[in-house]
Amino acid sequence: MSSMDVKTVEVSVKGKKIMDFLLKEGKSAQKYVVGEVAKGLGEDLEKLIPILSDLSDKGLLKLFSEETERVELTSEGLLYAKDGLPEWNLLKILRDRKKRIEEIRETLGKNGAKIGLTWCMRNKWVKSEKTDKGALFSITAEGLEVLDKGLLEQKLLEKIAQNLVYLSDLNPEEIGVIGKLLDRNLLKKKIERKYSLSLSKALLEGKIEPILVVTALNRDLILSGAWKKARLKRYNLSARPPTTYIARKQPYLAFLDELKVKLVSLGFQEMIGPLVEPEFWNFDALYQPQDHPARTWSATYSIKKPAKGKLPPGGVVERVKSAHEDGCGTGSIGWRYKWSPEVAAKLMLRAQGTSLSARTLLKAKPPSKYFAIARCYRPDVVDATHLSEFNQVEGIVVDEDLTFRDLLGILKMFAVEIAKAEDVKFIPDYYPFTEPSVQLSAKHPEMGWVEFGGAGIFRPEVTAPPKVEVPVLAWGLGVDRLYMVKAGIHDIRNLFNEDLGWMRRSKVLI
Amino acid sequence: MVTISVSYEDLCNLLDGKTWEIEELDSLLHYAKTEIDTIIDDELKLDIKDSNRPDLWCVEGLARECRGVLGEKGLPQYKVNPSIAEVIVDSRLKNIRPFIGCALVKNISFDDYLIKQFIQYSEKKDNSYGRRREKTSIGLYNWTREGENILIPPIYYKVADPDEVKFIPLGFTKPMTLRKILEVHPKGRDFGHIIADNPYYPLLIDSQGNILSMPPIINSEGTGKVDEYTEEVLVEVTGTDWNAVNCVLDGIVTALAERGGEIYALTLNFPYEINGEKTFITPNLNPLEWEIDVNYASKIIGIKLTPEEVVEYLKIKRYDATHLEGEKIKVLAPAYRADIMHPIDIVEDITIAIGYDKIEPRWNPKMTLGELSFPTKYVYKIRDLTIGLGYQEVLTFSLTNPEYLTTKMLKENREQLIEVANPISINYSVTRNSLLPGLLNFLSKNTHEEYPQRIFEAGEIVQVVNEEIKIKKNLACITIHANASFAEIHGALDTLLQLLGTEYSLEETSHPSFIEGRTGKIKADNTELGIIGEIHPQVVTNWGLELPAAAFEINLGPLIEQAEK
């Protein structure tokens, strides 16, 4: 026989489990009570109904339901189902010998004794005789018979405790007893829907057959080999997947990381240093006079307490003093004022990354190249185009025979390598610590001409105090705008982005 | 950088009378380190980069500098006529405001624009080069006005009792004492502190008792108000630096000369010596002498120059230059070029005269080994691991609001916060001493985003240890969601430290920002690394958050030191 004429019907794991249970002993046309099926499967009746309804829709079975009366135990009934009815317990203790009322009370309690005696006396299962020591109770022949046969009330209570008992399933004698138990308030009636089912005709005739469809594979299916008989559910591939959030580098920091890699690849060593500096490194060592406007409150953040830091040991402080006062033997006339170590010791938040270059000059040996990405601070009102803290990319090149042409060369290289510039322009500029000084304009493919950097050759008054005897090219690059264009950011505050959603969802920058 | 506003037409006239295209004008101004910022109708806003050359901060000076490129080479020529009056200085000024330079300029016709230009020029010089008038300040006065002699020499630069002498300050109608002027007049309030502590205040007064001004505060309404009826003008600069005073005087006098003014000298009699002399005739427009070496210039610029070329380039930049012998060149710089401190400054001018765009860039450096610093490399690894643990990296400001570090974290103010002395906003007024408040602030702005949220920052914090500033590299991680717990954050810390090879232990501790009994001190060897725990519900609420959070913060310093060994 070809299996071609057997139609397979897809069922879930739960559906398959139910069908397997029903077909356990072969195909049968009998009617199954759903409550029994649920019990047999160890499942909740409520959870079973939707699955059965689905199987019924698929034509595997027929599901019937009718309103029916069921009885349930009251709390007192539940107690008796567990511990026994008082009359039943009384019969048991009177089986072997007569007992006085006190002894009965001792075992059954005062209340139990009263209820037990009432029922047993009324049914003539127990009789009493008068003695000198009071009444003595004993079991009768009818009582013994009940004891042997079992008490129907007790049996029903225990059955109801364990099963769903519908009035429609009981015989007239049992109905009668249920009536008594209802009167004694040991039971209550409950009206509910009663489900039953039978296998469908098509299934019984072998025209259709359930087949397992699996959504999620699991260890059981794999190990038991059940997957072989199963059909793996086909997915709708056009459905949107659930959103996954990954953790990433902060986008601006990731950009700076790549910039560092680039600078390292070009032979630059990284400089690091403190963000709170004595003014000495930020200004004095860079030949900025102590009354320079850049050193005033409006241009530099100073520290309230402690207000002063330590000046470096060795002769460098003396030589910086000399540079300011008389040119430090360089042929310079200097700034010609009385230099104060007190002013130089004042602590401030680093205002320019060049302070790191100033520190580095003390140890730099030619040939060498250095860079730093330094957090710098300026008392600006924070808005879309200003921050009070920002990063500066700065560096120096130290070697014999370096010239202004080399400075232009390095700037052009930066413009091409970092800003992908199509063209460069060099414009005269001014820095207190370099001469000649130059501004680098780069023609960016998207931004057009932008100021991309500033540079110069350190003045002799800067290189003489740390005893550097070769030219030092100093440069700084403005990379923030480059990043902002790349990342589509218009507000500079977003370099320090506070939007988690943007970080989770913004595209990778190549 | 100094920004000035000038008339486009005026600038063109002062250059060569031609109508300049803006782009070409911008390129020309580059020779004077100046850029066009904006142009609206006839008004040009110019950015002058050189903050050490006040001679360029006026339209006359800029045009003079640029005319060198247009063919007017060599030293600008100004005739100084012999002294026609005397200025007598009081000895008591020696410790108050010792220096003064003066000149008289005739044959100048002021109009509204010109008056505004000279006010602008004076203000820029006073504020920037003059360090808000402490170092130098300028005064202009009517010498003659509408055919009338206003000031009668000699002029006395003297001192006066602040409570006895009275005059009407510029812009006012009633006389008041010098002390009152410091209290009441806007300029007195701005600049009064420069002289306020002295027993006597400086005063300029003529032989007839006409008060010119109280330097460096304010002119008198009568003599010190230059207008279109002013015919001959007295220029005066006082200050605390003799060279700067003369530089400023030379700058303003030559600018007036550029407008057709005739310069007359004045004789200054000081009761004290300056560079060994007591009598000076100002303005002294004698050029400044320098000598430079052609080889030196060639070596700096990177182009082999001949002495003839150097002489030619110097003349373009308004120097006079003579080839002496060999590589030596004698250079005469205009008197107003007080910015020159070293031959390197002259070399820059040669470079500018050559033209930066005519110098071929060259880049063939010697091989050097590029390398990241060890802390950066180590922190890179930590950031990678922490991201691997599912924490999003964030970057927050290191300047913050003191409330964030204290009240919001349930910490009392006892811990010493490092305040900036001159904050602009309370939100950026202290340096952070911990990263966690910044992370909580970040979370507080993202309550609309899906949870769980896990974020971290590796950054620098500032603390005071033994009265000294200590900067530390820290790492802080925080997790916030319905089931965030100590166990979760402990798991993250444990994995991280294990992978870094750091043995650590937790010791129960108390911390106001964390829940009692769920807070641990993180220790490695005997060093305290940081703190871990569940965030106190009150702290969670303080930040406007609604879910349990757990966090740790560790100092990476000991780990980096250990690793570097």
Backbone angles phi, psi at B205, to 5 degrees: -150, 145
User: If you count residue pairs, one on A and one on B, with CB atoms under 8 Å apart, how many are there?
Assistant: 268
In chain A, which among 362-391 make CB contacts under 8 A with chain B?
367-369, 375, 377, 379-382, 388-389
Distance from C-alpha of B9 to C-alpha of B2, rounded to nearest angstrom: 21
pLDDT score, position A25: 81
Torsion of CA A58, A60, A66, A68, to 10 degrees: -130
Look at chain B and count its residues: 565
Q: Does A247 touch chain B (CB under 8 A)?
A: yes
Which run of H or of E encompasses B191? helix B186-191
DSSP-H helix ranges across B431-517? 436-444, 486-499
Identify the CATH homologous superfamily for domain A251-505.
Answer: Bira Bifunctional Protein; Domain 2 (3.30.930.10)
pLDDT score, position A479: 86
Nearest-neighbour CA in chain B from A437: distance (Å): 8
- Cβ of A347 within 8 Å of Cβ of B300? The answer is no
Torsion of CA A75, A80, A81, A84, to 10 degrees: 170
Nearest-neighbour CA in chain A from B231: distance (Å): 36
Distance from C-alpha of A53 to C-alpha of A59, rounded to nearest angstrom: 10
pLDDT score, position A167: 82
Smallest Cβ distance to A503: which of B371, B392, B445?
A: B392
Chain B residues close to A410, C-beta within 8 Å:
363, 365
- Cβ of B363 within 8 Å of Cβ of A406? The answer is yes
User: Which tokens sit at A359?
Assistant: 């520190």
Backbone angles phi, psi at B135, to 5 degrees: -85, -45
Tokens 């769980």 belong to residue = B452
Query: What is the edge-to-edge ordering of all strands in the sheet holding B418-419?
Result: B399-400, B430-431, B418-419
- Quote the pTM value: 0.81
Reported CATH class of domain B2-67: alpha beta
Is residue A171 pLDDT above 90, yes or no? no
Name which of A457, A389, A404, A413 is nearest A268 in CA terms: A413
- Cβ of B342 within 8 Å of Cβ of A369? The answer is no
pLDDT > 70 in chain B, percent: 99
- Cβ of B395 within 8 Å of Cβ of A252? The answer is yes
- Cβ of A498 within 8 Å of Cβ of B445? The answer is yes
Strand partners, B206: B155
Determine whether B166 is exposed, middle or buried from the number of CB atoms within 10 Å of its CB (0-12, 13-18, 19+). middle
Identify the CATH homologous superfamily for domain B374-564.
Answer: Bira Bifunctional Protein; Domain 2 (3.30.930.10)
Strand partners, B523: B505, B528
Q: Does A327 touch chain B (CB under 8 A)?
A: yes
pLDDT digits (tens, 9 = 90+) for A483-503: 888 888 888 888 898 999 999
Distance from C-alpha of B529 to C-alpha of B473, rounded to nearest angstrom: 11
Measured distance between the N- and C-terminal CA atoms of chain A, rounded to whole angstroms? 64
- Cβ of A497 within 8 Å of Cβ of B469? The answer is no
pLDDT score, position B414: 60
CATH of B288-358, picked from 3.40.50.300, 3.20.20.60, 3.30.56.10, 3.30.465.10, is 3.30.56.10
User: Which tokens sit at B91?
Assistant: 């000895």
Contact A160, A131 (CB under 8 A): no
Output the CA angle B321-B302-A479, nearest 5 degrees: 115
Strand partners, B266: B282
Distance from C-alpha of A260 to C-alpha of B373, rounded to nearest angstrom: 11
pLDDT digits (tens, 9 = 90+) for B490-544: 999 999 999 999 999 999 999 999 999 999 999 998 899 999 999 999 999 999 9
- Cβ of A267 within 8 Å of Cβ of B369? The answer is yes
Give the start-to-end residue ranges of the domains of chain A.
3-60+200-232, 75-188, 251-505
pLDDT score, position A319: 97
Is residue B553 pLDDT above 80, yes or no? yes
User: Which tokens sit at A44?
Assistant: 């909740």
Distance from C-alpha of B369 to C-alpha of B38, rounded to nearest angstrom: 45
Nearest-neighbour CA in chain A from B290: distance (Å): 11
Contact B57, B124 (CB under 8 A): yes
Name which of B254, B318, B268, B237 is nearest B80 in CA terms: B254
pLDDT digits (tens, 9 = 90+) for B199-247: 999 999 999 999 999 999 999 998 888 999 999 999 999 999 999 999 9
User: Which tokens sit at A382?
Assistant: 């924070």
Contact A397, A369 (CB under 8 A): yes
Nearest CA in chain B to A374: B460
Give the start-to-end residue ranges of the domains of chain B.
2-67, 80-282, 288-358, 374-564
Smallest Cβ distance to B362: which of A330, A382, A406?
A: A406
| B465: confidence class by pLDDT, cuts 50, 70, 90 | confident
Output the CA angle B165-B170-B172, nearest 5 degrees: 85
User: Which tokens sit at B167?
Assistant: 């005059």
DSSP-H helix ranges across A184-327? 201-204, 219-224, 251-265, 279-282, 316-326
Nearest-neighbour CA in chain B from A215: distance (Å): 28
Question: B interface mutation test: which of A347, A396, A434, A500 has the most B CBs within 10 A?
Answer: A500
Task: State the complex-level ipTM.
Answer: 0.93
In chain B, which among 371-400 make CB contacts under 8 A with chain A?
371-373, 375-376, 380, 383, 386-399
Chain A residues close to B449, C-beta within 8 Å:
500-501, 504
User: Which tokens sit at A480?
Assistant: 């923030």
| B31: confidence class by pLDDT, cuts 50, 70, 90 | very high
- Cβ of A297 within 8 Å of Cβ of B462? The answer is no
Reported CATH class of domain A75-188: mainly alpha
Is residue B120 pLDDT above 90, yes or no? yes
Q: What are the distances in angstroms from CA B385 to CA A254, B395, B533?
A: 15, 17, 20
Backbone angles phi, psi at B13, to 5 degrees: -60, -45
Name which of A489, A262, A296, A467 is nearest A385 in CA terms: A489
Distance from C-alpha of B133 to C-alpha of B215, rounded to nearest angstrom: 9
Determine whether A175 is exposed, middle or buried from the number of CB atoms within 10 Å of its CB (0-12, 13-18, 19+). exposed
pLDDT digits (tens, 9 = 90+) for B398-450: 999 999 999 999 998 766 799 999 999 999 999 999 999 999 999 999 999 99
3-class SS of residue A497: coil
Contact B257, B78 (CB under 8 A): yes
Q: What are the distances in angstroms from CA B543 to CA B403, B426, B428, B435, B442?
A: 11, 18, 18, 15, 10
Is residue A369 pLDDT above 50, yes or no? yes
pLDDT score, position A1: 42
User: Which tokens sit at B545?
Assistant: 């958050």
Distance from C-alpha of A130 to C-alpha of A139, rounded to nearest angstrom: 15
Smallest Cβ distance to A428: which of B352, B397, B455?
A: B352
Is B374-564 in the same CATH topology as B80-282?
no
Question: A interface mutation test: which of B349, B350, B379, B422 has the most A CBs within 10 A?
Answer: B422
Nearest CA in chain B to A263: B370
Smallest Cβ distance to B33: which of A406, A409, A430?
A: A430
- Cβ of B469 within 8 Å of Cβ of A457? The answer is no
Distance from C-alpha of A377 to C-alpha of A301, rounded to nearest angstrom: 7
pLDDT digits (tens, 9 = 90+) for A425-475: 999 999 999 999 999 999 988 888 888 899 999 999 999 999 999 999 999
Name which of A369, A399, A332, A405 is nearest B300 in CA terms: A405
| B312: confidence class by pLDDT, cuts 50, 70, 90 | very high
Contact B532, B520 (CB under 8 A): yes
Is residue A113 pLDDT above 60, yes or no? yes
Residues 6 or more apart in contact with residue B53 via CB below 8 angstroms: B33, B337, B339
| A318: confidence class by pLDDT, cuts 50, 70, 90 | very high
Is residue A407 pLDDT above 90, yes or no? yes
Q: What are the distances in angstroms from CA A360 to CA A73, A261, A364, A433, B181?
A: 91, 20, 6, 15, 51
User: Which tokens sit at B276?
Assistant: 């060994």
Domain B80-282 fold is: Phenylalanyl-tRNA Synthetase; Chain B, domain 3 (3.50.40)
Contact A52, A210 (CB under 8 A): no
Determine whether B163 is exposed, middle or buried from the number of CB atoms within 10 Å of its CB (0-12, 13-18, 19+). exposed
pLDDT score, position A4: 53
